[in-house]
Chain A
Amino acid sequence: DGGITQSPKYLFRKEGQNVTLSCEQNLNHDAMYWYRQDPGQGLRLIYYSQIVNDFQKGDIAEGYSVSREKKESFPLTVTSAQKNPTAFYLCASSISDSGPDTQYFGPGTRLTVL
């Protein structure tokens, strides 16, 4: 059963802690993306990766870090430098590493800072 998964579904963080959100896909897609969504808003791009061992900053990369050591995995770390991390985080993938294609989304992780 192909798809893209994110875990956990809900995550609570104390101020000053780093947390890592998982994103895994078995669609054999080259490109992967992380978005942040605030209530009633659209998606804003945090980081994206077109190929293994390479990634680029999106529009709001400050306070976040990523890695792409495997094609199927693209974890996002929300660091303590991110001042307002409470949001809904969405991971997506697309088939190609070049050119604009349809993106397939995971179910999301809702992060709350306590």
Chain B
Amino acid sequence: SQQGEEDPQALSIQEGENATMNCSYKTSINNLQWYRQNSGRGLVHLILIRSNEREKHSGRLRVTLDTSKKSSSLLITASRAADTASYFCATAHGSSNTGKLIFGQGTTLQVKP
């Protein structure tokens, strides 16, 4: 079952612009993670935000979490052509004592040079 749903499914922007992707989920979470996948490759972890955090930064990445709305957003500032990839949110259930994550469908980002 899919916990996270992402919006938009696809996004195309010019280099230098900001890109915002959103993720909504259904049940209580322990944390929410964002991953990146280049075409035909494995996923790479970008950032983890815990349920008691509201905002987190890592370089050009900014993640927000609103547990009341059950949603998160990933902002990539000053995008580069190398940011072209698919981005997935993944949620860990609040009651889970395992490492299981549930992944969203992903947002495909294209950054045009």
Contact = CB atoms under 8 A, between A and B. Distances in A.
Give the interface size class of chain B. Answer: 20 to 34
- The interface size bin for chain A is 20 to 34
B59 interface: no
A42 B45 contact: no
A100 B99 contact: yes
B64 interface: no
Contacts of A40: 105-106, 108
Given A59-B1, A100-B31, A102-B33, A107 B97 contact: no
A35 B90 CA distance: 13
B103 A100 contact: no
Nearest to B105: A42
A99 B98 CA distance: 5
A99 B29 CA distance: 12
Interface of B: 1-2, 4, 30-31, 33, 35, 40-45, 48, 88, 90, 92-93, 96-106, 108
A104 B35 CA distance: 10
B100 A45 contact: yes
A17 interface: no
A22 interface: no
Contact of A90 (B43, B90, B93, B96): B43
A96 B99 contact: yes
B56 to A, nearest CB: 13
